Amino acid sequence: MIMGTLQVAYPKFYNNLLQEQRKLTVDLWTKMLSDVTAEEVTLAVNKIIAASEWPPTIAEVRKVISEIQKGSAKEAGEAWGEVSAAIRKFGYLREKEALESMSEETRKAVEFMNWQVICRSENLIADRAHFFKVYEAIRKRSVEENQIPFFIKDKIMRNIENNMLKIKCADISKEKKEEKTQTVIPEKI
């Protein structure tokens, strides 16, 4: 369905594909978009078709799907507005309530910088600039993480766990070898 839509929207690109290339393309797109709904894919592809004269990559489609799922992220200035409003409304004593009033990325940036420090700051201009950098990094990472299909995230996590286990086993083996090589020399009386 999606590949048919893309063929109609971008005939110069897709009409020259050989049958085997078409099959590989469909298989790859199916695999890489298997964790999202057909409705989300269709909406994302249609949005891209309306705005771009070039066919989308899987990464572009996943990015638009991420925006659809999470909504458009706030700009750093809007997020700082959330922080300023929370400072006025809750002050530094009601940190939990203040953090709960914020969007996820804003809250993460504030937690990274420390709510108490922000509230007691005497240089909000510098804190604002620092917040912008932290917020943009968190937002970028969030978008990138949301673009990665679940099955790939799962494989990455299993790979990390296996590597950590190998490192731990190697450390234990090294310690045992060191224990064996240490000999006890009796003291002379």
Which amino acid is located at 120 in the chain? R
Q: How many domains does the chain have?
A: 2
Give the tokens for residue 177. Answer: 């070898």
> Which pLDDT score is estimated for 118?
92
Task: Please indicate, yes or no, whether residues 85 and 57 belong to a single structural domain of this protein.
Answer: no
Task: Please indicate, yes or no, whether residues 6 and 66 belong to a single structural domain of this protein.
Answer: yes
Helix/strand/coil for 78: helix
The model's pLDDT over 36-55, given as tens digits with 9 standing for 90+, comes to 899 999 999 999 999 999 99
> Which pLDDT score is estimated for 189?
56
Residue 170 in any domain: the answer is: no
- The whole-angstrom separation of Cα 110 and Cα 172 is 40
Q: How far is CA 78 from CA 16, 54, 108, 136, 160, in A?
A: 46, 32, 15, 12, 36
**Taking all residues of the chain, what is their mean pLDDT, rounded to a whole number?**
86
Residue 179 in any domain: the answer is: no
Task: Please indicate, yes or no, whether residues 15 and 56 belong to a single structural domain of this protein.
Answer: yes
Residue 7 in any domain: the answer is: yes
> Which pLDDT score is estimated for 170?
73
Which range (51-60, 64-73, 93-102) has the least confidence? 64-73
Task: Please indicate, yes or no, whether residues 66 and 21 belong to a single structural domain of this protein.
Answer: yes
- The whole-angstrom separation of Cα 136 and Cα 145 is 14
Task: Please indicate, yes or no, whether residues 63 and 80 belong to a single structural domain of this protein.
Answer: no
Q: Which among 73, 80, 85, 74 has a CA at the least distance from the CA of 127?
A: 80
Give the tokens for residue 33. Answer: 């978009």
Whether the full predicted model's pTM is greater than 0.75, yes or no, is: no
Residue 85 pLDDT > 90, yes or no? Answer: yes
Tell me which residue range forms the domain holding 15: 2-70
